[in-house]
A and B are shown apart, each in its own frame.
Chain A
Amino acid sequence: MFPSRLSFLRALTRRLHHEGARLTRPVWEIDAQGYGHAVYTIAVGGRPYSLVAVSSHLPDDLRSDRVIATAWDTAYVLFDGVPGAADIARLVAEAPKQEAARFSERDLVLSRANRSVRLFSHVVERLRAGQQPDPALIDSVGYLMRTTAVYGNGKFGIADRALYADRPGLSGPFAAEMLTVWMIRTFTHELVEHLGGAPLDRDIKRHLGIGNATGLGMAPFLVSHPVLLHNWMTARETALARVRRLPALDDAARGTLHALAERAQRHLDSWTLPDPHHAAILARLRQDWAELRVWMRDGFLQDAPLDALIRRAERYDAPTQELAVSLAIEPFGRLVDDLCDGMNDNSGLAPLPFATPQEARRAIERHFDWALALRFDDPDETRQFWYVSEEKLEPRLGDRHSEDGAERESPLDIARRVQELYHALDESCDLRAFRAASPEHELALTRLACVMRHPYSEIRDNLIGAGCLPIDMLRSKLSFFGATKFDPKSDRWTRVTLAQGAPLPDELHSPRADDWWMAVRA
């Protein structure tokens, strides 16, 4: 999947644009070596939020992408309001400790980021020499710093999401986290300008996003938030359905689509991947996209042109199909942007929508036929188990047949549980009596109830099978965030770039503030 105009970062910058938001920097206590702290404040939805950024010295040999690292170049807290001197002093002391510290309900998001060794020093040195950075290096890295965690929702004492989930501007999925990331990006720009003693070229600066290294921690979220997953997918599918119904395109819309498709091609060309497997997929995508663009010349002239585009894209591999979906949605904000408002989970509890074991079995056959087809007597179908590590309380994957700990596995084995439920349901029994006697099947029953109401809520894969690739789950979720330049380092973690091409603070009011899909350097 690829980012689209429904992605959370896009929704954020659109909101900042519509609100006329202004980012200020009331505190800048950074020394000549780049160490110290800064505070940025912005009002969103009528309330101020502040990023407290702390920059510290970090020896190169301690710089690690792993979530289990204990020291970072920079640390951040998104503060609820405008921090006073005591708040700032507290956060300057606590933020660098990250997981080892304890925070308050005024602290909404906690994050940290390390410098890109390839780019950060280069940019500073060039600026000091009165030059701009090497554009090729800007393109190949894409960010000055890379976050290794962006924590929200109550971790380490920070505010539970419930405290701000109803606030305008922060009610969208991961809105507080996206706001934090966008502000961190600004800090990284201003830190290199401070150290380099000169401003970055605007086009280069806009093309410097913020990196992110993401591992398994993201994957269980998609399983444990099925309604959210459904709502994200529904928004995307609804947007696609709306544009596919367009009977024709005028000249302006066709011109926009061609320009965007060409920009996407350049974006693909600027995307480098060291991993041979993924590099081959990218090379194929570049080739197929070029071919599809040839079709677009006449294809957009026919009736229902975007429906035709999607049908045409089906001739190609999934990446090309997904990019076509993202392109088709992009020019039609008036048709689809309202869907961003439905990407939260506002659903409440509800009784099971079936009353008898027979109804439950029929529902499983209908909604989980893919799970019933799995052969769990094959050891490979149960090879992996998900668990939370004692070391860092982070999700991990183990090999059930060669490692200890499977008795403590996290309940991500939905397909297996549903299949077990199917076989356990005694059709002669009362369903409530079954539930009382067999509480171990309750999770499968609730998942069944959920998928009946929310058909996109279930990942149709055996997440404990040897063939499960968590990287696919990460990419799906990150595309909803708006991440680009996926750079998988294994089947379990990836680097990405966030907010590359996003408006700079003084560009929020530009009419083009929302025009940064598949960004390329100007």
Chain B
Amino acid sequence: MSALSERAARGAGFPPAQAALFGRAVVMHMAHGGPEDALLEALATPKDSPILRLPLVLDDLMRILSQMPEGGALTLLGRDTRLALAYARLAPVTLSLDIATRADGTHSLVFAPGDTPADPPPAGLDPSADLVRALSKLASKTYVPASVGGRHGAGAGNIDND
């Protein structure tokens, strides 16, 4: 799922670094039962998407933790809340995480050192056929029909008995 999601994000028009992080976040999102439509929603708006913003939030989180080990809170845009926990779970430390809604309606990612071991790698994800189909369709936008030149240079001649 990680590789497919990364490629889907690139096919949707996201830059490669953000697409790669999205691929990793998708695994976390699905391993924790996150809704699939949040992924497709994020992919649908390449110019204004949590896929662009949440890598910076994750970077902020790690930077804050390196200076304030007790944790903190980061303001989130409302449309970033659905995937924020998945990105935060990519931090290389065990965290207690929550999405808080303030009295003024704004949201924040609240994080603090966790007291439980980090989750083991998910034993397997079970994406719906619809999600796989949607991701595959986006991913296909990164594929190029093989050219004569490329085919010639990629491997051996057509028959290669030795």
Contact = CB atoms under 8 A, between A and B. Distances in A.
A350 B62 contact: yes
Nearest to B3: A154
Given A61-B159, A65-B155, A389 B59 contact: no
Interface in B119-162: 121-124, 140-147, 149-151, 153-156, 158-162
Contact of B15 (A65, A117, A396, A439): A439
Contacts of B55: 442
A348 interface: yes
B17 A403 contact: no
A215 B141 contact: no
B5 to A, nearest CB: 12
Contacts of A398: 144, 147, 149-150
Interface in B1-60: 2-3, 14-18, 52-53, 55-56, 58-60
A459 interface: no
Interface in B44-101: 52-53, 55-56, 58-60, 62-63, 66, 90-92
A46 interface: no
Given A391-B145, A403-B150, A352 B161 contact: no
A352 B59 contact: yes
B124 A60 contact: no
Contacts of B162: 116-118, 141, 146
A389 B143 contact: yes
A493 B158 CA distance: 14
B144 A351 contact: no
Nearest to B90: A349
Contact of B144 (A116, A154, A388, A439): A388
Interface string A457-468: 000000000000
B143 A68 contact: no
B145 to A, nearest CB: 5
A108 to B, nearest CB: 13
Q: Does more than half of chain A's interface fall in helix, strand or loop, or is it mixed?
A: loop
B18 A390 contact: no
Nearest to A440: B15
A215 B151 CA distance: 11
A379 interface: no
A450 to B, nearest CB: 11
A435 B18 CA distance: 11
Nearest to A399: B149
A335 B112 CA distance: 42
B147 A348 contact: no
B53 A349 contact: no
A492 B153 contact: yes
A396 B161 contact: no
Contacts of A411: 16
Nearest to A390: B143
A350 B93 CA distance: 10
Nearest 6 interchain pairs by C-beta:
A348-B92, A405-B144, A162-B121, A390-B143, A396-B150, A443-B17
10 contacts: A154-B3, A349-B91, A389-B144, A389-B154, A393-B143, A398-B149, A440-B15, A443-B16, A446-B17, A492-B155
Given A64-B159, A163-B124, A349-B58, 5 more contacts: A65-B160, A66-B156, A166-B121, A403-B150, A405-B147
Interface of B: 2-3, 14-18, 52-53, 55-56, 58-60, 62-63, 66, 90-92, 121-124, 140-147, 149-151, 153-156, 158-162
